[in-house]
Amino acid sequence: MTRDTDAPPPRFPGYDVLAKWDSPSFDDTTRGVLAARLDAVPPRRWLTEAEWALLDAINARLLPQPERAHPIPITPWIDAMLHDDRGEGFRHPDMPPLRAAWRQGLAAVDDEAHRLHDLPFVRLGADAQDAVLQAIADGRAVSPRWQGLEVKRFFIHHLLKTAAGIYYAHPLAWNEIGFGGPASPRGYVRLGFDSRDPWEATEAP
């Protein structure tokens, strides 16, 4: 799993996409969308308190954010997705419906922690939590609670891809990848290979 100490130096040092807030890059509609993502974090509505704490601990290991005083929230947006029962519009034939898959999968992750370390996932140290998630990612899970749920698919398509998608939908994460924000209203003009518009981030040499 990703280690807290493995974080590379920033690719775009000093870049802050939100510095464009009052520039021609953003209009009122764009600013409204960004403000909602920054400030309107959803409350817990679908996950139980224990499931929320478990998923929060999992997300903290999948996408560690030790450099942030206030980590980008991931769990609230997953809870909102589950509350609205809003997925990607399709389901793999070997997976239960969205909500059932998440509820079963989270219970199975916690059972793996008990079987490997005799403790719930949230009470494990970072190394032990990583070991549990690595076993699941490698398809080495042993809990009977996975029955009817494809283990690696749950890890990749539910836990990992969902967490990463929510993380990189957050404006503060855009600084890490040099993303200049929505193309509306300014748009991107220089679309050729290894070219950039003057208002885009400059990558460190």
Average pLDDT for 40-48: 97
Q: Tell me, what's the pLDDT at 2?
A: 42
Go through 38-58 and write b for each residue having 16 or more CB atoms within 10 A of its CB, e for each that does not: eeeebeeebbeeebbebbbbb
Residues 6+ apart with CB under 8 A from 38: 170, 171, 172
Tell me: the pLDDT tens digits for 80-94? 999 999 988 878 787
The pTM assigned to this predicted structure is 0.88
Phi and psi at residue 191, to the nearest 5° = -105, 5
